[in-house]
Copies of this chain bind each other. A is one copy, B any other.
């Protein structure tokens, strides 16, 4: 039961809502889910967990470093399991599909741009909004 250990390692009590939410984040095809998405899937699976709890649990997961929270749309946040490997995102503006990518060159460049100005890079967000090229 890997999920349970993840929770214990994070110092979180192993409760049914937390386990179920972790399962959903882990098993979903779409790696990026909103609180509402998760809530709906819980209901579908017959778990009667409140939306408020979903929010609370997700926030705890974020604080514990288990998930990362993104604001791609500005209005609604989405959460993804933290794989440990940093990456950025590309969003297909037609389909809404979210893709992940990593570019060492990009990371380096961001770092350098900050250094040049006397700052150190603490964190960054980058989303490329793209469209499939016509063949």
Please give the residue numbers on chain A whose beta carbons come within 8 Å of chain B beta carbons, in ascending order. Answer: 71, 74, 77, 90, 92-93, 99, 101, 103, 105-106, 109-110, 113-115, 117-133
Q: A105 → chain B, closest Cβ, in Å?
A: 6
Q: Which residue on chain B has the smallest CB distance to residue A71?
A: B74
Taken together as a complex, chains A and B put the C-alpha atoms of A46 and B78 apart, in Å, by 41
By a CB distance below 8 angstroms, the chain B residues around A74 are 71, 74, 77
By a CB distance below 8 angstroms, the chain B residues around A130 are 114, 117, 119-122
How many copies of this protein are present in the complex?
2
The secondary-structure label for the interface of chain A is strand
Q: A117 → chain B, closest Cβ, in Å?
A: 7
Given the contacts A71-B71, A109-B106, A121 and B125 also touching, CB distance less than 8 Å? no
Residue contact B129 to A126, C-beta cutoff 8 Å: no
Residue contact B110 to A121, C-beta cutoff 8 Å: no
Taken together as a complex, chains A and B put the C-alpha atoms of A86 and B117 apart, in Å, by 19
By a CB distance below 8 angstroms, the chain B residues around A121 are 128-130
Given the contacts A74-B77, A125-B125, A128-B124, A133 and B119 also touching, CB distance less than 8 Å? yes
By a CB distance below 8 angstroms, the chain B residues around A131 are 119-120, 122
